[in-house]
Amino acid sequence: MVDDLYQETILDHTKHPRNCHAMADATRSAEGYNPLCGDKLKLFIKMDGDVVKDASFLGSGCAISTASASLMTESLKGKTREEALKLLEKFHDLLTTDSPVTKDMGKLVVFCGVRDYPARVKCATLAWHTLKSALGEAPETVTTE
Amino acid sequence: MSTVRSEIAAGFDVQKVREDFPVLKQTIHGMPLVYLDSAATAQKPFAVIDAIRKFHEVDCANIHRGVHELSQRSTAAYEETRSKARRFLNARFKNELIFVRGTTEGINLVASSWGRHNVKAGDEIVISAMEHHSNIVPWQMLCEEQGAKLRVIPMNGRGELILEEYEKLLNPRTRMVAVAHVSNALGTINPVGQIIEMAHQAGALALIDGAQAAPHMKVDVQALDADFYAISGHKIMGPTGIGLLYGKTALLNAMPPYQGGGDMIKTVTFEKTTYADLPYKFEAGTPNIAGGIGLGAAFDYLNHLGLDRIAAYEHELLVYGTEALLQIPGLRIIGTAREKAAVLSFVIEGIHPHDIGTVLDRQGIAVRTGHHCAQPVMDWFHVPATTRASLAFYNTTSEIDALTAGLKKVKEIFS
């Protein structure tokens, strides 16, 4: 049922997104766009050497993309660049493959329901695509297409 | 007028009509399918499915070529659709009907073939604020190439074109006015007869995007005095990949071919090629024969039901659906034109259309969410996207009840 997709944690982060603000002293930022639904997102990262010290976002989107950005910014803090990119890969696998859910993903496992909604995978990955760009792994503005 | 419409609608046996559409008899996620996305593509009746099947099973051959029996049969069936299209749109001659892939290709044909030879630097093309991307981008490309200017008729808060503003846009540099008969995103029925007349008075031509009008109302290209009128087969219960462009004979004759290839020539030598007469000049290559034959069956089917009865019944559905949706707190209908086809585009405060679409889908209800290939319309109304329930004559009031019940569930989840 649809409750598998809109789990409580997701609804909570949709209604009360965390880290949803601009960041004046960000060291990196990037923009993401989903042309399919018009969702736009701006991501701010503050790096301290190789470590993500702070992360925030601004944007308008659906419940899934907003919750995903909110939970992503929470989970990034304190991670090294390499760890962040690894998490991105795992998150992508969580959404697009049948691989078993691993414990080290923390709260992000609430997105496992998305794999049953192929049309919504892009909503969940928009923030993460944008992260890739903020970390210099993709062009400055990314689209999910 | 509305009493007459109600009486006609009352005689419409929707349950019997639904028997003609096999796709409707299924469950989605355990719930009966409620298909409310006919403006994207309409479902197909047995008559169309059977005609395509019969072509492949019995008559399959290329057209216009062979002397053998099958080729003659397929040619006759395909060309018969052209005659049916002439009657459907009330064109004067069947050679004024060009087979294309759909409305988009029809518009591109005109923008490319007519446009490049008639639009010069400093000329102007007028479109409207509610156009589908397919009636924006081809003209934009033409304007960029020729150094012409694209001008846009604005609309009011209901989603109706402002004709006084349109009048101000017209001038001796205006070459073409291209507008939708019915807006896919808003449902607005535009007064295209008047729009065409005003274009002609200014010395311009008029092209009408008829994709959303043809399934819902009687179209008479002669009465409208349209110079070009484009329709898509799949919006009128026919197959995808086939449509028609109507153009006045004199205009079509004066235009160069759109694409080169087989079937569009009289003679070919390496020095010179002479082109075929209308309509074949614009029909290079083997077309979508099965699609054309299926479209012929769709014309028959719609004629059998009667466009007047269809329009009357759909209007009743629209009135019922509008009232039902307005009962939902926080819901705003986008597009409230006084003359409207059965399209219900709406937003619900605080809930993104994609979430609405997903929750409805799990209840078996198919709606379209997004910008409906009309991003400028979304920008005008300051919404990123809408949810759109588009109705057809096979929909019922109980399906609209299912939609409102589904929306209540949406509100429960996200409140």
Q: What is the CATH number of the domain that holds A64?
A: 3.90.1010.10
The lowest-confidence range among A53-62, B45-54, B125-134, B287-296 is A53-62
Cα B131 from Cα B61, distance rounded (Å): 38
Contact residues, chain B, for A6 at CB < 8 Å: 355, 359, 413-414
Catalytic site positions of B: 373
Indicate yes or no: CB of B355 within 8 angstroms of CB of A63.
yes
Q: What is the pLDDT of residue A145?
A: 61
| Residue B288 token pair | 């979508």
Nearest residue in A to B352, CA atom = A62
Nearest residue of chain B to residue A114 (CA atoms): B358
**Would you call A37 and B375 a contact, using CB atoms and an 8 Å cutoff?**
no
* Within a domain: A88: yes
B-chain CB neighbours of A3 within 8 Å are 413
Note whether residue A36 is domain-resident: yes
Interface contact flag, A37 B353, Cβ < 8 Å: yes
| Shortest distance, CA A144 to any CA of chain B (angstroms) | 15
Count the domains in chain A.
Answer: 1
Q: Are B358 and A11 a contacting pair at CB < 8 A? A: no
What's residue B166's pLDDT?
98
The CA angle B335-B340-B343, to the nearest 5 degrees, is 65
Res. A37: pLDDT tops 90: no
> How far apart (Å, rounded) are the C-alpha atoms in residues A11 and A26?
28
* Closest Cβ opposite residue A120 in set B358, B413, B414: B358
**Average pLDDT, whole number, for chain B?**
96
Closest CA–CA distance from residue B375 to any residue of chain A (Å): 9
Give the integer Cα–Cα distance in Å for B279 and B245: 10
Residue B384 has pLDDT above 90, yes or no: no
Instruction: Give the residue from chain A lying closest to B358, CA to CA.
Output: A2
pLDDT confidence of residue A39: 83
Contact A2 B385 (CB under 8 A): no
Size of interface A-B (CB pairs under 8 A): 48
Q: Search chain B and give the residue with CA nearest A7.
A: B413
Q: Map chain B to HEC letters.
A: CHHHHHHHHHCCCHHHHHCCCHHHCCEECCEECEECECCCCCCCCHHHHHHHHHHHHHHCCCCCCCCCHHHHHHHHHHHHHHHHHHHHHCCCCHHHEEEECCHHHHHHHHHHHHHHHHCCCCCEEEEECCCCHHHCHHHHHHHHHHCCEEEEECECCCCCECHHHHHHHCCCCEEEEEEECECCCCCEECCHHHHHHHHHHCCCEEEEECCCCCCCCCCCHHHHCCCEEEEEHHHHCCCCCCEEEEECHHHHHHCCCCCCCCCCEEEECCCCEEECCCCHHHCCCCCCHHHHHHHHHHHHHHHHHCHHHHHHHHHHHHHHHHHHHHCCCCEEECCCCCCECCEEEEEECCECHHHHHHHHHCCCEECEEECCCCHHHHHHCCCCCEEEEECCCCCCHHHHHHHHHHHHHHHHHHC
Q: Which residue of B has its CA nearest to A14?
A: B414
Q: In order of start, what are the domains of chain B with their CATH numbers?
A: 2-32+306-414 (3.90.1150.10), 49-303 (3.40.640.10)
For residue B2, what pLDDT is reported?
Answer: 60
Q: For residue A145, is it within any domain?
A: no
A52 pLDDT band, cuts 50/70/90, is very high
In a domain, A67, yes or no: yes
HSE, CB side, 13 Å, CA atoms: give it for residue A86: 8
Residue A8 C-alpha, separation from nearest chain B C-alpha, in angstroms:
10
Question: How buried is A51 (Cβ within 10 angstroms: 0-12 exposed, 13-18 middle, 19+ buried)?
Answer: middle
Give me Rg for the CA atoms of chain B: 22
Q: Quote the minimal CA–CA distance from B153 to chain A in Å.
A: 24
Could A119 and B358 be called an inter-chain contact, meaning their C-beta atoms sit closer than 8 Å?
yes
CA dist., res. B269 & res. A30, Å (int): 57
Q: Give the pLDDT mean for B266-276.
A: 90
Domain presence at residue A144:
no
Mean pLDDT, range B301-321, rounded to an integer: 97
How far B261 CA lies from chain A's nearest CA (Å)?
Answer: 34
Q: Which of A4-8, B130-134, B233-237 has the lowest mean pLDDT?
A: A4-8
Enumerate the residues of chain A whose CB falls inside 8 A of the CB of residue B385.
37-38
Mark yes or no for CB contact B362/A62 under 8 Å. Answer: no
pLDDT in tens, B67-117: 899 999 999 999 999 999 999 999 999 999 999 999 999 999 999 999 999
Residue A83 lies in a domain: yes
Question: What mean pLDDT comes out for the span A29-53?
Answer: 90
Q: Which residues of B touch A (CB under 8 A)?
A: 351-355, 358-359, 362, 369-371, 375, 378, 384-385, 413-414
Q: Which residues of B183-213 are buried (b: 16+ CB within 10 A; e: fewer)?
A: bbbbbbbbbbeebbebbeebebbbbbbbbbb
Instruction: Convert the pLDDT of each residue in B9-25 to its tens digit.
Output: 778 999 999 999 999 99
Interface test with B, best of A6, A33, A36, A37 (most B CBs within 10 A): A37
Nearest Cα residue in chain B from A119: B358
Q: CA-to-CA distance for B346 and B330, rounded, in angstroms?
A: 10
Helix axes B307-326, B2-10, angle to 10 degrees: 100
* Cβ contact, residue pair A37, B385, below 8 Å: yes
pLDDT at B1 over 60: no
Structural domain span for residue A109: 2-138
pLDDT classification of A97: cutoffs 50, 70, 90: confident
Kindly list the residues of chain A whose beta carbon comes within 8 Å of any beta carbon in chain B. Answer: 1-3, 5-6, 11, 14-15, 36-39, 60-64, 117, 119-120, 123
Closest partner residue to A38 (CB to CB) among B355, B384, B413 is B384
Q: Rounded CA gap, A44 and B258, in Å?
A: 50
Within 10 A of A100 (CB to CB), how many other CB atoms are there? 9
B358–A39 CB contact, under 8 Å: no
Task: Read off the pLDDT of residues B325-343 as tens digits, 9 standing for 90 and up.
Answer: 999 999 999 999 999 999 9
**How near does any CA of chain B get to the CA of A98, in Å?**
21
Q: Which of B316, B335, B86 shows the shortest CA–CA distance to B190?
A: B335
Decide if A143 is inside a domain. Answer: no
B121-130 pLDDT tens trace: 999 999 999 9
The pLDDT of residue B34 is above 90: yes
Nearest to A123 among B351, B354, B362 (CB): B354
Token pair 């989603």: residue: B159
CA distance to partner chain B, nearest, from residue A36 (Å): 7
**B370/A62 CB distance under 8 A:** no
Whether A41 maps to a domain, the answer reads yes
